[in-house]
Amino acid sequence: MEDNKKQVVIITEEKQSKSKSKKIFGYVLFILFGIGTWLNLNGIWIELPLLIPELSEGWGLSPQLGMASNIANVGPLIIALIRHLIGGESSAYEVPSICVIFLVGITVPIILSFTWFKQVFFLGTTRSLYLLVLGFFLALVNCTSSVTYLPFVNRFHKKWLNIYFAGESLSSLIPAILGLLQGVGQEAKCIPSPTNHSIMIEQHFPARFSVQVYLICLSIIMCISFIAFLLLWRTQPQEKNQKKSQAEQIIAGENAQDSLLTVNNNDVIVKSPNDNNEERFSMETIIYLLIILWTSILLIGCIPSINSYSLNPYGASTFHYVLILCQCCYPLVSLISTLRPQLFQVSKIGIILSTISGTLAFSYIFITAWRSPCSPFVDEAMGKYIVAVMWVLVYLIFYYERIALGNYFNETSGHRGLFWYGLLTQAGAFTGAVIIFTLNSLGKFNERALCEKYSCS
């Protein structure tokens, strides 16, 4: 009897050990899979301080790259069209689409690592077409990942969704850590021109490793993420005949083309011709949706496009390390929301105050870009610290708002609210990018040359 009991205990322990190992294996796979979402595009933004001095666009590279990134939102529309053509209930498109996304995400950084510095004479001037075109494709696969990865994750138990989101947050943290290891090199200095000693030119120093090495590292990480996806697909148990999750319906934009808006006193009613269900949007919800539109214009559309004009006047190191700090804000806010969800309960006064605070911080950032080369406190030691604090504040405040309001829409309006949340996010991002691109094309932003003297007092 005792021997039988011991055998039962041993078998039970072995099963528990195997179950624990499978669980850890699942955690690792879903995290690695999530890392492949926005890794490449975040990496390109981190490299801007090293790219700008070498390319003909100079500081104008930021608004051009921002515009190219937002045009890439055509990707989700392509996936929506594929879904429509093969039937909305089918998930046959998911695995092939994800494979294509990963193959592009792996190969493009390698190609870019050998071509980012090449210039092409186009429309009367030299342009970095290789960087802009390949950057567009990186943005395209990153944007498209939003509408393919989540539906794929929905095949598995719902407990894995938060693990996947943890990996997604690391897609901004990992490029930031790589950038931190890379550094920006010694501060540039002015030296006499070899051809004319009366003219001073900038001398830039190399980082710890090159842009090429950085891009190849991104490609390797994407390759690891791709392997994790293949292992998930072939080894992890999938739930059969499950009802589509809210996340999948939202991301896919299901029935969006049939939605109608009607105004009824203080409520907006969103209804679909295919059913009689109505979901009322109170004026409070409408205000929150407008706040999402506003924060998207500033945070996703405008700020990335003016980063060079706002930060570069204060030095290449300030430019480099502030971008890295900002990339760390989303993982930080996401972690806090997981550990202290009570801090993200929506209150009308709190949201309004945070929106005003974030807008004021953005206003300072915009002024630093608008007034370049004579940005506020540009010749004083405290200048770079003030602008760094303002940048980090904008990211922390607006990420807090977006997570809090995302939870609010999920609880109060469900599918419709989150659909409009996503739609207004994309609309705001595109609007902000167009505004900055237009202003830059009109010559409203100016560079600050290191070796020129300015009377900014």
- Is residue 243 in a domain? no
138 part of a folded domain: yes
Mean pLDDT across 263-290: 58
pLDDT score at 256: 33
The total of other beta-carbon atoms located within 10 Å of residue 96's CB is 11
Q: Are residues 210 and 297 in the same domain?
A: no
How confident is the model over 38-63, as pLDDT tens digits? 899 889 999 988 898 888 888 889 99
Residues 111 and 216 in one domain: yes
> Which of the two residues, 109 and 453, has the higher pLDDT score?
109
Averaged pLDDT score across all residues of the chain: 81
DSSP-derived secondary structure letter, 389: H
Predicted pLDDT at 186: 65
Residue 1 domain-assigned (yes or no): no
Is the domain of 97 the same as that of 186? yes
Asked whether residue 172 is assigned to any structural domain, the reply reads: yes
Radius of gyration (C-alpha) of the chain in whole angstroms: 24
Q: Same domain for 215 and 313?
A: no
First-to-last alpha carbon distance for the chain, in angstroms, is 92
The region of weakest confidence among 152-166, 242-256, 287-301 is: 242-256
Residue % of the chain over a pLDDT of 90: 35
Query: Are 299 and 164 contained in the same domain?
Result: no
Q: Are residues 294 and 224 in the same domain?
A: no
What tens digit of pLDDT does each residue of 174-195 get?
999 999 898 876 677 777 777 7
Each residue's pLDDT tens digit, 360-388: 999 999 999 999 889 999 988 899 999 99
DSSP secondary-structure letter at 281?
E
Q: Are residues 424 and 335 in the same domain?
A: yes
Provide the domain limits for residue 128.
Answer: 24-192+202-235
Adjacent-strand bridge partners of 253? none
Q: What are the φ/ψ torsions at residue 260 (nearest 5 degrees)?
A: -125, 145
Q: What is the CATH number of the domain that holds 34?
A: 1.20.1250
Among 38, 7, 232, smallest CA distance to 144 is for: 38
The confidence score (pLDDT) of residue 258 equals 33
Indicate if 296 and 220 belong to the same structural domain: no
- Across-strand partners of 262? 269
164 lies in a domain? yes
Nearest CA to 407 among 165, 192, 219? 165
- Asked if 181 and 302 sit in the same domain, the reply is no
Q: Is 106 helix (H, G, I), strand (E, B) or coil?
A: helix
Whether 338 and 411 map to the same domain: the answer is yes
> Quick one: pLDDT band at residue 10, thresholds 50, 70, 90?
low
Residue 179 lies in a domain: yes
Are 301 and 214 contained in the same domain?
Answer: no
Is 42:172 a contact under the CB 8 Å cutoff? Answer: yes
Q: Which of 321, 300, 372 lies closest to 179, judged by CA?
A: 321
Q: What is the pTM of this model?
A: 0.79
If asked whether residues 207 and 314 sit together in one domain, one would say no
Total domain count for the chain?
Answer: 2
In this prediction, residue 87 carries a pLDDT of 65
Q: Would 349 be classed as within a structural domain? A: yes
Q: How far is CA 6 from CA 9, 10, 395, in A?
A: 5, 6, 57
28's CB contacts (< 8 A; 6+ apart) are 228
pLDDT at residue 271 tops 80: no
Geometric angle at alpha carbon 240, from 239 and 245, rounded to 5°: 65
- Within-domain flag for 348: yes
